[in-house]
Each structure stands twice: as C-alpha cells, then as structure tokens.
Amino acid sequence: MTEKITMKTTLVEIDGDEMTRVIWAWVKRYLLEPFVDLRTEYYDLGLAERERTRDRVTIEAAEAIKQYGVGVKCATITPNEERAVEYKLTEMYKSPNGTIRALLDGTVFRAPILCEGIVPYIPTWKRPITIARHAYGDVYKDIELSIDGPAAGSCVELVCTQTDGTEDNLLIFDFGAPDAPSTGVVEGMHNTDTSIESFARACMKYALDTKQDLWFGAKDTISKIYDRRFRDIFQSVYEKDYKAAFEDAGTTYFYSLIDDVIARVIRSEGGFVWACKNYDGDVMSDMIATAYGSLAMMTSVLVSPQGAYEYEAAHGTVQQHYKKYLNGETTSTNSVATIFAWSGALKKRGELDGLARLCAFAETLELATLKTIADGVMTGDLYTLSTLAQKKQVDTETFLLEVAKRLQDIEC
C-alpha cells in the first residue's frame, strides 16, 4: 500500500451522539485512518461532555472552526425535557448547531447525494438542488400575542420609537372595532440588513465556488417592504460585487416570485443553488430531501461570510436505531451523509492547503461509497427505494466494510 496521505492544517473534528457517534468511529477506523494521517483537533459534543463543561465545549468548537477554517461535525442531540431526565442535565442546553451557526454567522447549504438506482420522485431532477437557508430572524425570532381573555377586543398597533423620541403608530388590527371578531392572534417579526446581506453574499460565494446558478424567491408582491428588502439587498450585492464574476463563470443569478420559483424548481433538471428565506428553507429542505429519496442522503455545510466551513450530515442521531444497537440487535443505519461530511471537509482542507492527494482521496472515498450502492449493497432505508434488480440489505458496519473494500481496490 502507498504511503499515508499527510495533512497540513488541523481539521476541527466534532463528535456527537447516539447512532451517529457509533458510525463516526467506524468511518474513521475503516475509511479514513488506513489512508490518511489524520490531523484533527477533537471536540466531544456528546451530551455528557456538554453537561460536564456546561456547554463551553460547543463554544470552543465553534471558535476552533473560526481559527482553522474547516470543521466536520457528527449529529448531536438537542435536549428536550425527556433528554434532560435521561442525561441528568442541569440545564436545557441550546441546539449545538444553533450555537455554532450564531457564532459563525453562517448560512447552511444542504444538497442531496444522488446515486444509481435511487430515482427522485421528480424524474426530471438529474442533478442535486442545493438549498441555502437564511438562518436568522423572521418567524424564528418573532413575538407572538394571543388576543383573548383580558386582551380580547384590544386595538393592536406596531409602535416604532425613533431615536429622537418620535413615535410612529401603525394599526395592525383593531379587535375592538364594531363587527370585528374580538379574539385572535398577532405576530411581530424582524430581520436586519446586515444579516440579509451576509446571507446574500454567502449564497453568491457558494454558487460561484460550486459553479452553479443561484435562484432566489420571495413574496415581494404581497410583502412590499419586508420581502422587497430581501430582493433589493440581493440585487445590490449582486450588481456591486458578483455580476462580473458570475458572467465570467457563465452562471446566472435569478430572482422571481417564490410561487414562480417553486413551479420552476419542479420543472427543472436541478443543478442550482436555491436561496430561501428562513421559513421557506426550513420546509423546502424537507421537501427536497424526501423528493430525492432519503433524509439520510442529505449533506449539509455551514459557510461563514469569512469563509469558514463546517460539514455535517443533515439527519439527526437516529435514536431509534441506537436503542436497537444498545440492545445488541442488528441495525441498518445509512452512513453515507456522514461519510460525505468527512469527504467534503477533507476536500475543502485539501483545496485550501493545496494538497492534491487529499482532494483526490476525498473524491475516491465518495466514488467508493456510491459504487457500493450501485453494486447493490445498501442499508435498509435505500433498499426499500432502490430500483436495482440485484440488491441486498446489509447492516451498518458491513456497509462501511464494503465501502472500505472498494476504497482499497481503487487506492492501492
């Protein structure tokens, strides 16, 4: 066997929870360590360690990504009340992904992994559609008010107090008006120009990096100030800083009404980046994942405006499978998105450090993974979807060993 590949800069490795933690160790043992002299700085974001450090470890991991530029993360539990009891938590820690995203001010790009024998529900989709979700504000940072009980019949206004003390009052709805229903709900939300601009820049940079067109849709016909602001900021960032580069790359930026964008997405062949407002991205990424086949085949990368990258699988810790694993039962959990998180991070590290061998290895690892599935060897989730005539379902570890065999064959 040829000499192991050496790395130059440290990669930030962030371990996680449950079934994905088990897979994490196997991916390293079978697919990475035999070929690469891994140079990583390890952060354990398993819930026990987050509890022990009172979640300081999550912040340290995010700071390390800022420092080194590239990280790879395993899925982690976001605690709820059940988990707080299970792990004897002293605090209900925030979602690690939320914390890391906030510290990096990043945008998340999610793309499906396409492979032979798994046909998307939309048969015209030949290439991946990458969803970029704006991860700040709107309904996720809203204030909601229930107008009932003593508040029934209220007159609800939006009040803007300017710096000189002048007040601007805008009527939202008068629940006390004659003939008006006296109860209901109201909501106030916001976004900031800075955050929208960061989002626009991240999308344009990512589309250029990956040589894809960028699409963006909002509802500016109805939301003439709020959504219009998104459209205008995107347009001005594009005109000012990206138009020439897009033209050189032969790619386009395209804005349309969200309804029209959705209709075009369905009719498209894929192969573009779709920038979505926060809520649109939340719901549309689930639609895209399902339509391409399986949530277990979605990759996710968080990109900061400063150009730091964090790669991960889009799915969670697969708790139900982990329970079986702990009981000694056979599991057939799909490790493809976790493998691609590693290959994505190693490829990026290789690009930034000018290490052609590391980039080539990352691509070979992806090829070996896809070849395994094309050869008809797959986990249960894909087995039920695959149109291949010859196929067999294997357990979690066997799938990784089968990938390792093919990787050996190509690498040696």
Residues that bind Mg ion (CB under 5 A): 282, 286
Single residue of 10, 53, 78, 210 touching ligand NAP by CB under 6 A: 78
Q: How far is the CB of 209 from ligand NAP (least distance, A)?
A: 22
Q: Does 348 bind ligand NAP (CB under 6 A)?
A: no
Q: Based on CB atoms, which residue is closest to ligand NAP, 78 or 235? A: 78
Single residue of 214, 261, 296, 370 touching ligand NAP by CB under 6 A: 296
Helix (H) or strand (E) holding 339: helix 336-353
Give the single-character DSSP code of 328.
T
Candidate ranges 74-82, 135-143, 264-272, 353-361; the one touching ligand NAP (CB under 6 A): 74-82
**Other CB atoms within 10 Å distance of the CB of residue 101:** 19
Single residue of 40, 58, 76, 154 touching ligand NAP by CB under 6 A: 76
Q: Does 97 bind ligand NAP (CB under 6 A)?
A: yes
282 contact choice in Mg ion, ligand NAP, none (CB below 5 to 8 Å, kind-dependent): Mg ion
Q: Which residue has the tokens 């590391």?
A: 358
Q: Which residues contact 215 (CB under 8 A, 6 or more apart)?
A: 254, 255, 256, 261, 264, 265, 272, 273, 274, 275
Are the C-beta atoms of 12 and 70 separated by less than 8 Å? yes
Q: Based on CB atoms, which residue is closest to ligand NAP, 153 or 316? A: 316
Are the C-beta atoms of 378 and 335 separated by less than 8 Å? no
Q: How far is the CB of 87 from ligand NAP (least distance, A)?
A: 11
Per-residue burial over 12-30, b = 16 or more CB atoms within 10 Å of its CB, e = otherwise: bbbbbbbbbbbbbebbbeb
Q: Does 44 bind ligand NAP (CB under 6 A)?
A: no
- Name which of 373, 312, 316 is nearest 343 in CA terms: 312
3-state secondary structure of 341: helix
Round to whole Å and give the CA distance between 117 and 268. Answer: 20
Half-sphere exposure of 161 (CA within 13 A, CB side): 1
Single residue of 320, 323, 405, 410 touching ligand NAP by CB under 6 A: 320
Single residue of 318, 345, 346, 359 touching ligand NAP by CB under 6 A: 318
299 contact choice in Mg ion, ligand NAP, none (CB below 5 to 8 Å, kind-dependent): none
Q: Based on CB atoms, which residue is closest to Mg ion, 197 or 282? A: 282
Single residue of 198, 285, 304, 317 touching ligand NAP by CB under 6 A: 317
**Cα torsion through 29, 32, 35, 40, rounded to 10:** -110
Q: Does 333 bind ligand NAP (CB under 6 A)?
A: yes
Q: Does 99 bind ligand NAP (CB under 6 A)?
A: no
Q: How far is the CB of 177 from Mg ion (least distance, A)?
A: 37
Do you know the residue count of the chain?
412
Contact residues for ligand NAP, defined by CB under 6 A: 75-78, 97, 295-296, 312, 315-320, 333-334, 381
